[in-house]
């Protein structure tokens, strides 16, 4: 298909896009095609208003915001949890906003990793975001377990994806806990959360999911799928802003557990200000908080989450699949002859919301794209990730971005850029 035909197809898709009105709700960097929503989502007008509202409350109420804010800051973490719950298929009390993704994983490991007799293995994978791996390994060390004996990785046959067969084969009777990503951060592979959760349980293991690349991008059913816990960041598809507080999910059937790490914000709300020296955990996911919630790093979510809720996760996913299809089809047609490989699974049920284009000169190409107004990101060794967000990316922008990628490689312009990766990409 020639270039104009791809642009025409993109225009046709835009014309029938039911979510096109949401684009104007976002601040889009001028003359830029922003395809890095899978790293940091753009600021929406409701998120901005919610943050300004919190600042106003700080200005006008001072400490009174804890009780008199709207909503009261004292309950904000739980309130955000309740707003997020439908997006991840959870009950309101099963989700809370707290800390960072990595710290929440530490908290959840301290609670759910319970080695017992021969069942001591913590199962992870070699393709997960490194911070998860660091948390897992350091946790094992802290507990006096030997990572060489207790840490198992599901092997990856192609360095991009995990196969269901290999996950099942790794889930031996010695696995106490598995921690896996629902969507892999590099290839964008979407795992079968329900199937893997059921398999883990059938073998007597617990399982927790990193939803950082899934929450707000693909519909999830954490409660019904029976996941034991999950954790994710709020700055990608959920629009909470740089360094936004993260979130976690704990299945209701675990509400009788006491969290591993205690802090006063995990207390029963009605007793927290009794200031007793004995810890009484809150009854839901709120118990997994520790210190004072980061109000200003949560406030934007009060605007962003209802916006996502209005658009609806089903419509978001439907458009996202059409957008990633366009990327993959254009990649196959135009970029493959230039040495690109699509590293993302093609089946709709097996891919998340971004597409990985692999190229030996990926670092240079990503730089060249940024220099001409397309913002992708680069993940070593060779992946240029393109992450459209259905709420603010148009199909025409996607087509233009792929055509620019074609141009920077065809023209050799990318060779003018350094091959070293950016420090912050
Ligand atoms: C899949 C995944 N897990 C964990 C993290 C770490 O998150 P945080 O820096 O919020 O701890 C990230 C960050 O991008 C991520 O993509």
Asked if residue 332 and residue 300 are part of one domain, the reply reads: no
Mean pLDDT of 341-358: 97
Query: Does residue 171 form part of some domain?
Result: yes
Q: What is the pLDDT of residues 60-116, one digit of tens each?
A: 999 999 999 999 999 999 999 999 999 999 999 999 999 999 999 999 999 999 999
Structural domains counted in the chain: 2
- Is the Cβ–Cβ distance between 297 and 312 less than 8 Å? no
Active-site choice (152, 160, 236, 370): 236
| pLDDT surpasses 80 at 423 | no
Residue nearest to atom 7 of ligand 1 (CA): 101
Verify whether ligand 1 is closer than 6 Å to residue 131 (CB atom): yes
**Is pLDDT larger for residue 423 or for residue 242?**
242
Asked if residue 109 and residue 137 are part of one domain, the reply reads: yes
Query: Does residue 168 form part of some domain?
Result: yes
Asked if residue 162 and residue 56 are part of one domain, the reply reads: yes
Verify whether ligand 1 is closer than 6 Å to residue 213 (CB atom): yes
Q: Which domain holds residue 403?
A: 3-31+312-416
- The pLDDT of residue 114: 97
Q: In DSSP terms, which residues pair with 255 in a beta bridge?
A: none
Verify whether ligand 1 is closer than 6 Å to residue 132 (CB atom): yes
Q: Which atom of ligand 1 is nearest to the CA of 213?
A: 1
Query: Does residue 423 form part of some domain?
Result: no
Q: From the CA of 185, how far away is ligand 1's center (Å)?
A: 9
Most ligand 1 atoms within 8 A of CB, residue of 129, 217, 248 to mutate: 129
Cis peptide before 71 (omega within 30 of 0): yes
Q: Which atom of ligand 1 is nearest to the CA of 104?
A: 11
Query: Does residue 361 form part of some domain?
Result: yes
Distance between CA atoms of 148 and 144, rounded to whole angstroms? Answer: 12
- The pLDDT of residue 415: 87
Asked if residue 322 and residue 200 are part of one domain, the reply reads: no
Asked if residue 317 and residue 302 are part of one domain, the reply reads: no
Asked if residue 185 and residue 88 are part of one domain, the reply reads: yes
Q: From the CA of 412, how far away is ligand 1's center (Å)?
A: 34
Tokens 């207790």 correspond to: 150
Asked if residue 23 and residue 117 are part of one domain, the reply reads: no
Closest CA to 225 of 94, 128, 325: 94
C-alpha distances out from residue 425 to 204, 328, 370, Å:
40, 22, 10
| pLDDT surpasses 90 at 222 | yes
Asked if residue 259 and residue 137 are part of one domain, the reply reads: yes
Q: Which of 266, 292, 310 is the last residue of a domain?
A: 310
- The pLDDT of residue 97: 98
Q: What is the pLDDT of residues 254-290, one digit of tens each?
A: 999 999 999 999 999 999 998 999 999 999 999 999 9
Query: Does residue 36 form part of some domain?
Result: no
* Start-to-end CA span in the chain (Å): 32
Cis peptide before 97 (omega within 30 of 0): no
- CATH code, domain with 411: 3.90.1150.10
- The pLDDT of residue 1: 85
Query: Does residue 258 form part of some domain?
Result: yes
Verify whether ligand 1 is closer than 6 Å to residue 125 (CB atom): no
Q: Which of 284, 310, 336 is the last residue of a domain?
A: 310
Query: Does residue 40 form part of some domain?
Result: no
Segment holding 167, helix H or strand E: helix 164-170
Asked if residue 183 and residue 97 are part of one domain, the reply reads: yes
Q: Which of 258, 285, 310 is the last residue of a domain?
A: 310
Q: Which atom of ligand 1 is nearest to the CA of 235?
A: 10
Question: What b/e sequence results for 362-398 when a residue is b if at least 16 CB atoms lie within 10 Å of its CB, and e otherwise?
Answer: bbbbbbbbbeeebbbbbbeebbbbbbbbbbbbbbbbb
Q: Which two tokens stand for residue 32?
A: 């830029």
Three-state DSSP at 299 gives helix
- The yes-or-no answer on residue 414 being catalytic is no
C-alpha distances out from residue 170 to 124, 139, 177, 184, 406, Å:
10, 20, 12, 18, 41
Q: In DSSP terms, which residues pair with 341 in a beta bridge?
A: 358
- CATH code, domain with 147: 3.40.640.10
Asked if residue 257 and residue 164 are part of one domain, the reply reads: yes
Query: Does residue 372 form part of some domain?
Result: yes
Most ligand 1 atoms within 8 A of CB, residue of 97, 101, 245, 379 to mutate: 101
Q: What is the pLDDT of residues 301-324, one digit of tens each?
A: 999 999 999 999 999 999 999 999
Most ligand 1 atoms within 8 A of CB, residue of 40, 102, 233 to mutate: 233
Verify whether ligand 1 is closer than 6 Å to residue 101 (CB atom): yes
- The yes-or-no answer on residue 269 being catalytic is no
Asked if residue 399 and residue 271 are part of one domain, the reply reads: no
Q: In DSSP terms, which residues pair with 384 in a beta bridge?
A: 357, 378
- Is the Cβ–Cβ distance between 164 and 179 less than 8 Å? no
Asked if residue 56 and residue 92 are part of one domain, the reply reads: yes
């Amino acid at each position: 298909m020639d270039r104009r035909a791809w642009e025409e197809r993109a225009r046709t898709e835009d014309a029938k896009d039911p979510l096109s009105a949401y684009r104007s709700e976002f601040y889009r960097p001028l003359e830029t095609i922003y395809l890095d929503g899978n790293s940091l989502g753009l600021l929406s007008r409701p998120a901005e208003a919610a943050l300004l509202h919190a600042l106003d409350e700080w200005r006008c109420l001072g400490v009174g915001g804890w009780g008199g804010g709207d909503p009261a800051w004292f309950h904000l973490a739980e309130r955000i949890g309740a707003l997020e719950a439908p997006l991840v298929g959870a009950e309101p009390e099963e989700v809370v906003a707290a800390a960072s993704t990595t710290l929440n994983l530490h908290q959840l490991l301290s609670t759910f990793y319970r080695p017992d007799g021969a069942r001591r293995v913590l199962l992870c994978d070699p393709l997960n975001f490194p911070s998860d791996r660091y948390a897992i390994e350091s946790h094992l060390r802290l507990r006096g377990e030997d990572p060489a004996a207790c840490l198992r990785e599901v092997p990856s046959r192609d360095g991009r994806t995990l196969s269901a067969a290999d996950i099942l084969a790794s889930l031996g009777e010695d696995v106490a806990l598995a921690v896996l990503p629902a969507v892999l951060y590099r290839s964008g592979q979407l795992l079968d959360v329900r199937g893997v959760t059921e398999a883990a349980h059938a073998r007597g293991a617990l399982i927790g999911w990193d939803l950082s690349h899934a929450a707000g991008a693909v519909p999830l059913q954490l409660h019904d799928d029976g996941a034991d816990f999950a954790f994710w960041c709020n700055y990608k598809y959920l629009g909470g802003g740089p360094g936004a507080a993260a979130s976690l999910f704990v299945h209701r059937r675990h509400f009788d557990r006491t969290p591993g790490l205690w802090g006063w914000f995990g207390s029963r709300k009605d007793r927290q200000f009794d200031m007793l020296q004995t810890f009484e955990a809150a009854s839901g996911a709120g118990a997994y908080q520790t210190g004072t919630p980061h109000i200003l790093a949560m406030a934007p979510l009060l605007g962003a989450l209802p916006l996502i809720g209005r658009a609806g996760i089903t419509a978001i996913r439907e458009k996202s699949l059409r957008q990633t299809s366009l990327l993959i089809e254009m990649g196959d047609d135009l970029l493959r002859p230039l040495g690109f490989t699509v590293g993302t699974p093609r089946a709709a049920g097996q891919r998340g919301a971004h597409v990985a284009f692999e190229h030996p000169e990926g670092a240079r190409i990503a730089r060249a794209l940024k220099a001409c107004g397309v913002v992708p990101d680069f993940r070593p060794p060779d992946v240029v990730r393109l992450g459209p967000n259905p709420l603010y990316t148009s199909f025409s922008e996607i087509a233009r971005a792929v055509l620019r990628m074609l141009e920077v490689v065809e023209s050799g312009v990318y060779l003018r850029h350094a091959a070293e990766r950016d420090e912050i990409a």
